[in-house]
A and B are shown apart, each in its own frame.
Chain A
Amino acid sequence: MMTKTNLIERKRTMYEKKISKAEPGLIVIALDDSGSMAENLPGTTDPKYAWVERLYGVVLKEPLARSTEIDGDSAVVKPRYYTYNILYGSAPRVWASGLMDIEETVNEYAKWGNSLGLGGNMGGTHTEAAFKMGYDFLKEGVQDERFDKSYPAVFFHLSDGMAHTDALPIAEQIKNLQTQDGNVLVVNAFIGTETDLTYNGPEDFPGYVDITDVGSNEDNIRMFNMSSVVPETMRQNLIDDGIFPELRESARLFFDVRTKEMLKHVIQVVGSQGSRADRSVM
């Protein structure tokens, strides 16, 4: 039974684990492939799904780099990250063979010409079903001996909104799942929405701390509430990596994607999982 002392100790030391082969990172990615994703990304001449396909490689880049070692004259990829990808529209489906280590994921993506097979072809936007699929997987995943001691899993959701179903209750269930290092983190990236927050781009994006920042749009409010609060280790990674250098403490992992530059940076949040080398101990 968790005593009060244990709880205090646990709270103090959450979200501190480094990613390693013994304690790998788990990333669940849920991508909206509904009909509206075939519309152009604002400010560009390409559809939203094409940008997601293009930038999925950016998602993989950081975990791949952190998993690759040079052994003599050869590059070796170690299984320090695993992905589970869900594509959804009116219904969700699992991409490729489900749970894959980072090398398998890159291999699969590369095999199909750096593509996930997106096309804005999956009809409506049944967000709740996608989250339910993610929850069912994570419920088992966080208890798997590979991940139960790891830095908490990240559930990354990308959509252009207009959800036909309310995923908030299931998102709360996902946020209550936990590894020994903390609760699963839910990230929501909302393409094309507008909020009350003033910023120019990733370089000065301050993050959404208060619900009033997101404005009165119901989809914004729902996605804000569906999102976890950024842990300090992750926030420092995002700052140090130059992804969101001005991100405020206690910001939610909710991002409005107004430009392709913002999309590129938001999608890299996935790679900020795990504690890094330098932390002041005293």
Chain B
Amino acid sequence: MIDLRTYDAIVGVSPMIECGEAKDQDRAVWFSKSQTAGLSDGLSSSSESRIAAEIVTEFSPALYVGSPESNFRAVNDLLIAKREEKMARGINVSSHLPEHMKEMLLDTAQQKLAESYQTTFVSVKLEAGSDTVKMKGFRCGDSQLLVFSSSGKFLTSSPQISQDSKSKHKKGIMFRPGDEILARVECNLNEYSDILDNIEIEKEYRKNWLVCSPVDQCRKASSESGELIRIGPGDKIIVPKYLAGGAMRVGKNGYVSIPFSRTVKLIPSKRSFRTSSKFHSGSTTEALPDHFYTGQWVYIEDEFPIDTHFVIASDGFTECFGSPVEIWQWLNRYKSYLADTRKKMLLLKRLHLIRRKRIGDDDISFVWMFPKNCEVCDGQA
């Protein structure tokens, strides 16, 4: 009989090995009492990402107490505060270097600090009843949540797994003279206090401007000539109210149609709203805290049959397999090994070797959650 109250879990974390560099930026944890799992994959291009991963995973149980969104904001605010503190302390470079080299290095280091404390994150909280289990969760970045039936049927995932790799890189909106785009009003510019060091609109006039999130193109000019504003996924725009139909008729979260105008200003999504960052890191991974503030994270609530299995994992783990089914098969084939600490580490070492040969090594982490007293629990650590 399944314990109505609890799930159990197997956690696997193994740092990258033998790549000439230490990484060890993945963190994963299962809190049995609160039935909560958290997993973070610190970005290797971000300094202090290991600390960020630790902070966010350890915070997992607290996320679901009270208002999840407020709690999620709080932990992201903490990451930003730590980043700002680090930036304020400054960076040292060797005094023996030529002046120009010092400048380049300091410039690079400052840009690095502006993107410190970045990590992906996925977390779930389970509330098991008699017949069903309620799941709540957060996700930001390329760490994944996978859901399986007790027989191994792949039910769903976050993000949605698509066979079409092109869909992962959504094209932006091309905004040209003669075009009109549909956008959602976020707020007045004077209410958007986190912006924006180089905005050339004096403060007294900002109440006459709107911050909007473009949704889609609603009219396209016949000619594709003329200047172009390329609006990428997650980008926002600043629009004068007269262009959006007048101040009185436009409200927050309302939708407006905006014709092309040179007055429209673009806010690229990859900029952190807390710190001015001109450096384009090139990172293709969404990560906390920056992508929290641009809205590129998800909160999930769902309900499944009581015998459902949940897996959260870093890309270091999922990239070892060709499909969710292969992950399920691996977990179940080696379930008794995974229940033994020493054997589990040997298994993970084998995954590292597969990764290293194929695509390069990375940290590996996962949390596999299953109903307590189901057969997989036999002999579990």
Residues on A facing B (Cβ under 8 Å): 13, 16-18, 20-23, 57, 60-62, 64-66, 68-70, 73-75, 77-78, 106-107, 109-111, 113-114, 200, 203-204, 236-237, 239-242, 245, 271-272, 275-282
Contacts and interface: CB of A to CB of B under 8 A. Distances in A.
A17 B360 contact: yes
B283 interface: yes
B298 interface: no
Contact of A23 (B45, B101, B165, B360): B360
**3 nearest A-B residue pairs (beta carbon):** A22-B20, A110-B100, A110-B101
Contact of B101 (A111, A236, A245, A282): A111
A23 B281 CA distance: 21
Contact of A203 (B104, B106, B141, B228): B228
A248 to B, nearest CB: 12
B295 interface: no
B91 A73 contact: yes
B358 to A, nearest CB: 6
Contact of A78 (B21, B98, B108, B362): B21
A281 B319 contact: yes
Contacts of B111: 65
Given A68-B109, A275-B359, A282-B323, 4 more contacts: A16-B358, A77-B105, A78-B21, A282-B318
A200 B223 CA distance: 13
27 contacts: A20-B360, A21-B21, A23-B360, A57-B104, A64-B105, A65-B111, A65-B279, A68-B112, A70-B116, A74-B91, A74-B93, A106-B101, A107-B98, A107-B101, A110-B97, A110-B100, A110-B103, A111-B100, A276-B282, A276-B285, A277-B43, A278-B142, A278-B315, A279-B315, A280-B165, A281-B319, A281-B321
A110 B104 CA distance: 9
Interface in B37-52: 43-45, 47-48
Contacts of B163: 282
B100 A16 contact: no
Contacts of B322: 281-282
A21 B360 CA distance: 12
B128 to A, nearest CB: 28
A75 B109 contact: yes
B161 A75 contact: no
Contact of A239 (B97, B105, B169): B169
Nearest to A274: B360
A276 B116 CA distance: 18
Given A13-B359, A73-B92, A277-B142, A236 B169 contact: yes
Given A21-B19, A240-B282, A281-B322, A75 B105 contact: yes
A73 B116 CA distance: 13
B91 A106 contact: no
Contacts of B99: 110
A276 B172 contact: no
A20 B315 contact: no
Contacts of A114: 100
Contacts of B21: 20-22, 78
Nearest to B320: A281
Residue among B174, B227, B315, B360 with the highest chain A CB neighbour number at 10 A? B360
B324 interface: yes
Nearest to A238: B282
A276 B169 CA distance: 14
Given A106-B104, A280-B162, A22 B318 contact: no
Contacts of B283: 276-277
Contact of B100 (A113, A200, A203, A281): A113
B92 A74 contact: yes
B279 to A, nearest CB: 7
B9 interface: no
B310 to A, nearest CB: 17
Interface centre among A20, A60, A245, A275 (most CB of B within 10 A): A20
A110 B112 CA distance: 20
A60 B101 CA distance: 11
Contacts of A271: 282
Contact of B315 (A65, A78, A203, A277): A277
A189 B266 CA distance: 30
Given A57-B104, A78-B21, A280-B162, A240 B92 contact: no
Contacts of A277: 43-45, 142, 283-285, 315
Interface string B155-198: 00000011101001100101000000000000000000000000
Contact of B319 (A61, A78, A106, A279): A279
**Residue of B109, B111, B281, B283 with most partner-chain A CB within 10 A:** B109
A282 B161 contact: yes
Contacts of B174: 204
Contacts of A74: 91-93
Contacts of A17: 359-360
A69 B47 contact: yes
Given A106-B104, A110-B104, A16 B98 contact: no
Nearest to A204: B228
**Residue from A23, A78, A110 with most neighbouring chain B CB atoms (10 Å):** A110
